[in-house]
Amino acid sequence: MAVGDIHSEYIQYYHQRLIRKLINDGIQTLPSLKELEESISLALCDLQRFMSGWGQWGSDISDTVIEVLDRLDGGRLLNSEDDYMVAMLREYG
């Protein structure tokens, strides 16, 4: 079993437990598995950004960050922070 498969199994398990808890709490708007996966990817990007200020240590999450950035900029550096904001809203807004 590949590492990505284990990661996926953990996220699926967490999603099932989260949905069960939200339903029990009377929440009617439930996140899809895809929405949860995207939220985790964005959280990992923010963690990587934070860790860059302290030096890289711990688990390597660069592959996830690169995947998200490639979705935003197609592998080419955008011109400005505003362009990335527009791309974020397009992809996740």
Q: What is the pLDDT of residues 76-87, one digit of tens each?
A: 999 999 999 999
pLDDT score at 78: 95
Residues 6 or more apart in contact with residue 15 via CB below 8 angstroms: 31, 33, 36
What average pLDDT does the segment 49-69 reach? 80
Is the pLDDT higher at 65 or at 15?
15
Q: Which of 67, 23, 24 is nearest to 44 (CA)?
A: 67
Segment 20-42, tens digit of pLDDT = 999 999 999 999 999 999 999 99
pLDDT score at 55: 73
Helix orientation angle between 62-73 and 81-92, rounded to the nearest 10 degrees:
90
> pTM for the full model?
0.75
CA 85 to chain centre: 16
**pLDDT tops 60 at residue 1:** no
